[in-house]
Structure 1
């Protein structure tokens, strides 16, 4: 991963995903659904996730798939 995760946020494993039978991918951030991938995007993500070597690599793939959804003003629920 190199310099990609300078603040080590991906080590906390804040992203998770779930795949359905029809190969739809639901991506979650701290338990909240933030993105749904279907079709070619889902197939590409699943292929990359299958070839990922570590959990950090999968976290990076999930972060890239979600795009720039965080702006820094999100509040964590208690």
Structure 2
């Protein structure tokens, strides 16, 4: 799976985090969710964490789509 890229985040105030993807707003986290996000970003790969929190990652249906009769060669 290719590594996601283009995500950035900005902490706005004490209890708010804004996540952008290629300059466009992808998510805004507030309160406990913002705190959980910041602790997870500090301990892992920030790009993967932001992709997971915004929902911009593979959904798991790629394998079944590959085997669909329309996509076979």
TM-score by length of 1: 0.64
Q: Where has structure 1 moved over 6 Å in runs of 4 or more?
A: none
Query: Could you list the runs of 5+ residues in structure 2 that have no partner in the other structure?
Result: 58-73
Aligned residues: 57
Report the structure number with the largest CA radius of gyration: 2
**Structure 1 unaligned runs (5+)?**
1-5, 70-78
Aligned-CA RMSD value: 1.7
* Aligned counterpart in structure 1 of residue 32 of structure 2, from 32, 40, 47: 40
Q: Does 2:65 correspond to 1:65? A: no
More strand by share: 2
Number of the residue aligned with 2:70: none
